[in-house]
């Protein structure tokens, strides 16, 4: 893969082809500089911060919904969670936690949790929206024990929260790391422009890989991407468009890929520590584009 974002690029070459299909003929002549360390940050939003003292409802089947604002920056690949502070009518009941329509877990309730309980559930980043509110549903099925005068009810306390695990503090530049893909190649939010540089006569395999990449990039970024396909005049387009791009295709039919690797200090047949790299060996590196 060779990406050409405005502040750096990712290069990934595999024999079978994911971004750059085909054998990588270039490898690092010297070990690449270590990426600067970065510190993950977190953002927490509570019901109280949204101005709500709590949410409650009565009935045998109750859904308590809370719309949390989207995260303030790119999400880390793990660490986000929802934490419910709840109470309910006595009895053998259950609650299902749902985020953006995706059920995450169902937990049995009892008299022991009726006076108050806490439930914390990890939320996969792919479940969360980056450009619109994230809706948390607490779906209670209430079976009150006999003898009580009050009917079935459920309540979420004001401490109920959504915890977003971010790559970096809000407003800072996402790290140029493979783990951060697709950031900073694209940003979340409304569809982002993304160049898709292909060979002049792309094969069915090139097109299939490109379509998978666009779909995956849009899913991870949130808000989707608006791809711009380039098959002719690619170097001029990359120099002048100001649009991040992915280079997709075999090295033999995508000359610009070699320029990306060469600009990053690579030389033929040598690995990062000076080891030999064969024609069928794969290569996974992070590189800066020569057009930055």
- What is the spatial distance between Cα 187 and Cα 170, in angstroms, rounded to a whole number? 13
Classify domain 41-166 at the CATH topology level: Jelly Rolls (2.60.120)
CB-based contact 26:144 (threshold 8 Å): no
* 62 token code pair: 């109750």
Q: What global pTM score does this model have? A: 0.54
Contacts of 212 (CB under 8 A, 6+ apart): none
CB-based contact 50:85 (threshold 8 Å): no
Instruction: Sketch the domain layout of the chain as residue ranges.
Output: 2-29+175-287, 41-166
In this predicted model, what pLDDT tens digit does every residue of 46-79 receive, in sequence order? 999 999 899 999 999 999 999 999 998 888 878 8
In this predicted model, what pLDDT tens digit does every residue of 220-275 receive, in sequence order? 665 667 888 888 888 888 778 777 788 887 767 777 777 776 666 666 666 555 66
pLDDT top residue among 242 and 80? 80
Structural Rg of the chain based on CA atoms: 25
CB-based contact 80:123 (threshold 8 Å): yes
Most confident of 44-58, 139-153, 205-219, 275-289: 44-58
- What is the spatial distance between Cα 18 and Cα 14, in angstroms, rounded to a whole number? 6
pLDDT of residue 72: 84
pLDDT top residue among 39 and 224? 224
């Amino acid at each position: 893969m060779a990406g050409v974002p405005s502040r750096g690029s990712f290069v990934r070459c595999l024999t079978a082809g994911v971004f750059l299909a085909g054998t990588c003929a270039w490898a690092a002549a010297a070990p690449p500089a270590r990426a600067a360390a970065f510190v993950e940050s977190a953002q927490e939003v509570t019901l109280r911060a949204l101005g709500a003292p709590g949410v409650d409802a009565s009935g045998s089947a109750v859904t308590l919904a809370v719309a949390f604002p989207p995260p303030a920056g790119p999400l880390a690949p793990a660490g986000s969670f929802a934490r419910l502070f709840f109470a309910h009518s006595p009895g053998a009941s259950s609650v299902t936690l749902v985020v953006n329509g995706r059920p995450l877990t169902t937990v049995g309730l009892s008299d022991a949790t009726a006076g108050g309980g806490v439930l914390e559930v990890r939320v996969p980043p792919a479940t969360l929206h980056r450009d619109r509110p994230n809706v948390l549903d607490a779906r209670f099925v209430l079976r009150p024990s006999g003898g009580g005068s009050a009917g079935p009810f459920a309540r979420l306390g004001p401490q109920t929260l959504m915890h977003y695990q971010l790559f970096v503090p809000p407003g800072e530049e996402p790290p140029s790391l493979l783990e951060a893909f697709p950031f900073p190649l694209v940003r979340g939010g409304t569809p982002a422009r993304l160049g898709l540089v292909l060979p002049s006569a792309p094969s069915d395999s090139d097109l299939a890989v490109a379509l998978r990449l666009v779909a995956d990039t849009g899913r991870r970024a949130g808000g989707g991407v608006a791809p711009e396909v380039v098959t002719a005049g690619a170097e001029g387009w990359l120099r002048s468009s100001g649009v991040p791009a992915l280079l997709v295709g075999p090295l033999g039919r995508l000359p610009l890929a070699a320029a990306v690797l060469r600009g990053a200090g690579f030389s033929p047949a040598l690995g990062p520590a000076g080891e030999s790299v064969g024609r069928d060996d794969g290569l996974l590196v992070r590189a800066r584009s020569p057009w930055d």
